[in-house]
Structure 1
Amino acid sequence: MRHSTLRQLEVFETIARLGSFTRAAEELFLTQPTVSMQIKKLTDAVGLTLFEQVGKKMYLTDAGRELHQTCRDIFERLAQFEMVASDMKGLKAGKLRLAVVTTAKYFAPRLLGMFCQQYPGVEVSLKVSNRERVLERLADNQDDLYILGQPPEEVDAVAQAFLENPLVVLAPVNHPLANKKRIPLKRIAEEPFLSREPGSGTRIATERIFSEQGLKLKIRMELGSNEAIKQAIIGGLGISVLSRHTLALDAPMGQLAVLDVQGFPIDRQWYYAYPSGKQLSIVAQAFLSYLQQAPQFLVEVSCNTRPSDTELPGFVEAPTSERMEP
């Protein structure tokens, strides 16, 4: 192993992460024969087989898994040293790896953009996925920080709220309930409901508030993205509950109504999280400080999601001409 090079370890780590020699070659801008040669040299140095192929799929052997973890540790320590060295020079440089649940994609890029303006030497990797996958990444410590809609109780982690995340009931603008006030939950439970997939934080919070009243939603369809749900609402397939943040940027103009429902909006928070005991990099610490200082961006987002604000593009507030009592 002493004669193995960092380049060989980098090639191996990339193959192990992507599960493909071809994709690793593309990511590293190398030819596939070069990648194969580097792995052959590394395998000879280790003296054990690192990969095995079953059918068309490639798997790590026991030795490969141990080496993969070692590679991750080595590259993590090197990255930390580069950040420390930059910090000693009076610079903030390095890489920030952030994983967020899908709804957070509506504000995370703007949030990161403002952070990178302050620290232009920082390179950002942003992964967007559903809650289940983000929790898997958190448990496996694949990233620096994670943003979720509720604390990760399934994983031993540090979590802190940093931004409001109100959930609202959405319907087509021409829906009969769009003209009502103080709509009872029981009435909403009678409507066909469009839901996110099981395990979604939005779905968990929504089902909880209905179950507390002894009510059950009439789920007509499960959809894996907020955009699909908004289009289904516009198409008249049902109503739904989504984060108000999903309306701030790109919903079709004037085609969605926020219903005035008793118990809504559901007051929730956005949380950042990281594994308990994790030593945060200098860049990750800088990003947390940035969040905790409540930059103007967060103030604006919080203000723009208040129920009284009718200026947001992509939706209209339900008219107030009629009143519905329980």
Structure 2
Amino acid sequence: MRNATIRQLQIFSVAASHLSFARAAENLHLTHAAISLQIKQLEDVSGTLLFERIGKRVFLTEAGEILLNHTRQILQSLKEADEALLALKGLKGGRIAVAVASTAEYFAPGLLAQFRKTQADLRIRLLIDNRDTVSRLLSGNEVDLAIMGRPPAQLDAVAVAFAPNPLVIVANSDHPLSRMASVAIEDLAGETLIVREPGSGTRLAMEEFFDERSIKARIGMEMGSNEAIKQAVIAGLGISFLSQHTLGLELRAGRLTILKVEGTPVMRRWHIVRHKSKHLTPALSAFWDFVLEFAPGYLRTLV
């Protein structure tokens, strides 16, 4: 393996994490052919197959799983070496990679903007995806920290709650239920629900809400973004279960209304999460402390 290049290991790590050469090409801004070539060269160097294709799916071989574990350690060591050398040179800043659950995208950029006012030299990489993917990024050490609703139970993590996350049921402003002072849960039984995809924390909370009340949710549409759901609700295609932090513009414009459903809002919490073994650089420590101190007040302004 001594002839393997760092670039090959970086490409292999991304492709292995996604189990998709196409996703790796998209994330790294390379062509599919370039990804395939680098993987092939790495397989030649290692003398073994790292991936196998079964049907339309790609899987890691046993050798690939072993190499992925070592690759992550190598890339993390290089990152920590970079941070140490920056500190040795007396340079300010550093860099952090933050993953946020897609519902948090409505406030995370604002948090980062406020943080950058005090840490102008800091380089920040922001990734936005659903809860399952954010959990995988944390587990694979592909990001330093995450902001999400429910921390992953299977991950040995440090998670600190920093603000409430109220989940509500919304309809367009012309919906008959929007004029009711109180909406019984049974009144929702015949309504079409527009929901997030499986793997979303909002979807999981919605399913728990209905299951606890023995109501069968009538799911009409699944969508991968809160923006698409809001537009569908505005168009009258159904109602939805969303974080109130996603609704500011539409509520102020009168295009959506929060239904006064018994048992809502469903109160969850936002968490900042890191792997338990994660080494906190000065940059990571500064951001961690900033979120815990600043975010609660900032989020209160959004609801």
Q: Which residue of 2 aligns with 1:132?
A: 132
Distance 1:240 1:257 in 2: 11
Q: Which residue of 2 aligns with 1:237?
A: 237
Q: Which residue of 2 aligns with 1:75?
A: 75
Q: Is the 8 A contact 2:167 2:244 kept in 1?
A: yes
Structure 1: runs of 5+ lacking an equivalent: 306-326
What is the DSSP-based 3-state SS (H/G/I as helix, E as strand, rest coil) of the residue aligned with 2:154? coil
TM-score (normalizing by structure 1):
0.76
Q: Is the 8 A contact 2:72 2:140 kept in 1?
A: no
Q: Is the 8 A contact 1:83 1:93 kept in 2?
A: no
What is the DSSP-based 3-state SS (H/G/I as helix, E as strand, rest coil) of the residue aligned with 1:293? helix
Q: Deviations over 1:232-288 (max 9, x none)?
A: 111211111101111125789321111222221111111111223332333222210
What is the DSSP-based 3-state SS (H/G/I as helix, E as strand, rest coil) of the residue aligned with 2:203? helix
Q: Is the 8 A contact 2:12 2:39 kept in 1?
A: no
Structure 2: runs of 5+ lacking an equivalent: none
Distance 1:105 1:222 in 2: 19
Q: Deviations over 1:117-140 (max 9, x none)?
A: 322222222221111222222232
Q: Which residue of 1 aligns with 2:227?
A: 227
Distance 1:253 1:13 in 2: 45
Give the deviation of 1:106 after TM superposition. Answer: 0.9
- Count of matched residue positions in the alignment of Structure 1 and Structure 2: 296
What is the DSSP-based 3-state SS (H/G/I as helix, E as strand, rest coil) of the residue aligned with 1:214? coil
The 1:284/1:187 distance shift into structure 2, 3 A limit, reads: same
Distance 1:207 1:130 in 2: 16
Give the deviation of 1:207 after TM superposition. Answer: 2.7
Moved more, 167-176 or 58-67: 58-67
Give the deviation of 1:290 after TM superposition. Answer: 1.1
What is the DSSP-based 3-state SS (H/G/I as helix, E as strand, rest coil) of the residue aligned with 2:265? coil
Distance 1:249 1:234 in 2: 12
Which amino acid in structure 2 is aligned with residue 302 of structure 1?
A: R
Q: Which residue of 2 aligns with 1:274?
A: 274
The 1:110/1:37 distance shift into structure 2, 3 A limit, reads: closer
Give the deviation of 1:64 after TM superposition. Answer: 5.2
Give the % identical residues.
37
Distance 1:117 1:158 in 2: 27
Q: Which residue of 2 aligns with 1:144?
A: 144
Q: Which residue of 1 aligns with 2:200?
A: 200
Q: Is the 8 A contact 2:11 2:38 kept in 1?
A: no
Moved more, 171-180 or 90-99: 90-99
Which amino acid in structure 2 is aligned with residue 9 of structure 1?
A: I
Distance 2:38 2:242 in 1: 51
Q: Which residue of 1 aligns with 2:94?
A: 94
CA RMSD, 1 decimal: 3.5
Choose 1 or 2 for highest CA Rg: 1
The 1:260/1:58 distance shift into structure 2, 3 A limit, reads: closer
The 1:178/1:94 distance shift into structure 2, 3 A limit, reads: same
Q: Is the 8 A contact 1:158 1:276 kept in 2?
A: yes
Moved more, 280-289 or 48-57: 48-57
Q: Does 1:13 align with 2:10?
A: yes
1:26-41 correspondence to structure 2 within 5 Å: 27=28
What is the DSSP-based 3-state SS (H/G/I as helix, E as strand, rest coil) of the residue aligned with 1:268? strand
The 1:93/1:300 distance shift into structure 2, 3 A limit, reads: closer
Distance 1:29 1:301 in 2: 37
Distance 2:64 2:164 in 1: 43
What is the DSSP-based 3-state SS (H/G/I as helix, E as strand, rest coil) of the residue aligned with 1:98? strand
Q: Which residue of 2 aligns with 1:315?
A: none
Distance 1:252 1:66 in 2: 53
Which amino acid in structure 2 is aligned with residue 304 of structure 1?
A: L
Q: Is the 8 A contact 1:152 1:159 kept in 2?
A: no
Distance 1:303 1:252 in 2: 13
Q: Which residue of 2 aligns with 1:299?
A: 297
